Chain A
Amino acid sequence: DAKTTQPTSMDCAEGRAANLPCNHSTISGNEYVYWYRQIHSQGPQYIIHGLKNNETNEMASLIITEDRKSSTLILPHATLRDTAVYYCIDYSDQGAQKLVFGQGTRLTINP
């Protein structure tokens, strides 16, 4: 079962920042926070990951709280093509189990 908790759905206006929250209440010290998204009819797409520092790349920013119990994925200027299901995942490279996806947040960008 997934270890993270996300809202089922969110809406955001085109051009605005989309902030997607995730709760990691049971995250352990060696687990990374990974974010993926899945656009309709495609496989999941890697967005970003981090351990305890905030991260930024060309797609998004990731903010992780100091206690690591929550994170926020930020899409700074959302476009219609960002409409997708977004998954946050706690990942450890210590075990045999790999990425454990929950049901994610369905983000809809409105014109």
Chain B
Amino acid sequence: ETGVTQSPTHLIKTRGQQVTLRCSSQSGHNTVSWYQQALGQGPQFIFQYYREEENGRGNFPPRFSGLQFPNYSSELNVNALELDDSALYLCASSGDLMGEKLFFGSGTQLSVL
């Protein structure tokens, strides 16, 4: 039990639609990171937020965007969904001075048809 919860657990969308995935971090964790995991691959870093500001971004297009709120919740938004966006989306939180000791949620499985 990591204290990080994600919703929904599963989601089906069609190509071109928009999706919002949600994450609730551990209380006191000011950093939230989002990762995309395709089937059979390791997770890939999308971006990280620290105290509501983006603090690093991986090799993902601008249609992937995020928000972090003061109540330790956050969102990942994906516009203009493509078939290749089908993946497990993982949220992870960490506290200050914890380096990359991240606490991951169980993820949202997104299927784009």
**A positions within 8 Å CB-CB of B:** 2, 32, 34, 41-46, 49, 85, 87, 91, 93, 95-104
Contact = CB atoms under 8 A, between A and B. Distances in A.
Contacts of B101: 46, 49
B103 interface: yes
A43 B107 contact: yes
Contacts of B56: 95-98
B58 interface: yes
Interface stretch (B13-21, B40-48, B62-70, B77-85): B40-48
Q: How large is the interface on B (under 10, 10 to 19, 20 to 34, 35 or more residues)?
A: 20 to 34
Contact of B42 (A32, A34, A103): A103
A58 to B, nearest CB: 14
Interface of B: 2, 4, 33, 35, 40-45, 48, 55-58, 90, 92, 99-107
Contact of A42 (B92, B99, B102, B106): B106
Main SS of the interface on chain A?
Answer: loop
A73 B41 CA distance: 21
B45 A43 contact: no
B92 A43 contact: yes
Contact of B41 (A42, A98, A103): A103
B106 A101 contact: no
Given A98-B45, A103-B42, A43 B2 contact: yes
A21 to B, nearest CB: 17
A43 B105 contact: yes
Contacts of A98: 33, 45, 48, 56, 58, 100
Contacts of B45: 97-100
A101 B42 contact: yes
11 contacts: A32-B99, A42-B106, A43-B104, A46-B101, A95-B56, A97-B58, A99-B35, A101-B35, A101-B42, A103-B40, A103-B42
